[in-house]
Structure 1
């Protein structure tokens, strides 16, 4: 499960992670390391726990009252579920981009500035807004309409605005939960190109149902599957985790081989 070259440079690490919703076990026994400044893709059929594990990395599951975890999740060696750890502070280091673009109902400028202000940014706000939009490759599209409502942009532009908003608070890690699911092919390509550029500065973990996208954008791929429970539900688990070319060209597990070949899922 853990490639030896990942272990010494892991930014995020899970060890024997179990996630429950109430009494129902949703994901069992996930152990993996996320390497620094690489793109890691989570793939697998619906209901196998990809997004659940992703949300554990910045404690978004805390927002679901019935959710709880067993095992350990660490960020740079520190237990992120330790008593007293501030999840808001954690999320300033580990940002998230959701499946559906969700710009604030504010101007493009304020979409970037708002979070920075909340996080106590004291620098030149104009420069921060411009640099964030440039890094998200949307500056040329919006530089003459910064006071326009961000929700008036196209879907692809809104998603790049949300990425700019996420990186404006200067995180180290970006979590992306199917960021291209609601986008057209041209917008999807722009987001993929952006991910290639962003990994020079950020560690990226992406959940995707698109096999071609996973093979194009990621350095490492984790394949999850699910099995039925006695109660009629499903529990997700990690089948295989390795370099992307290994997962797609010579996987160790037959289930992985079947999935990437399109024989199930």
Structure 2
């Protein structure tokens, strides 16, 4: 990233350039990202390319004022953190689905981040509802967070209460939220291009939940969450209270995208046939 791109990204987050790449600076950027840059899969249903190249990701987040899903959000965030002096390693994960089954290889992208004050952190601004702050990477006990109680544990066939799972690599980690496994991480560092096949699958496969539904979601300033799933608007307060309503008119839907997520759209996205126009480059 060049200085102009860094400044544009920080402006989007409403953040000042940190003096040093410290844990406190990482926490601030992480929370601002979750509040500002939505987790969304609109490109899949708008016929837009999802290209895992740094410039394309930055153009989308800082130029177009959009969000994205894990590869895009954590890919862009990794570029920003690296430019600010943090040590960043992308990690590959597999998300736990129904009945504890793990998803495809390169199912998820998360970040291992080192800071100048000696800490190592699991940063993840691309998993939807997750921790508001980075998790201490080496901590194996419970970690309290506004998003829940998290734990990082060594993975094994029964490490997260899941039987029959094979292919666990030495040193793999399970990330749990409120006692429920969320995803399994490899500890081997990766590069953004390694996730091309995973992004293509999630963008095109009829079996991917991203091709079957629409989502746009972010953390609110009060610590809750606002989510637009198709035409269903859900506002969840920090204490868990939920307000759900259906948006009947296109103008309402476009207004929520604009006013609550900062996304300007010319038409209301709808779930389309996967694989028609979206591809990964």
| TM norm structure 1 | 0.29
Higher relative strand content = 1
Higher relative helix content = 1
| TM norm structure 2 | 0.28
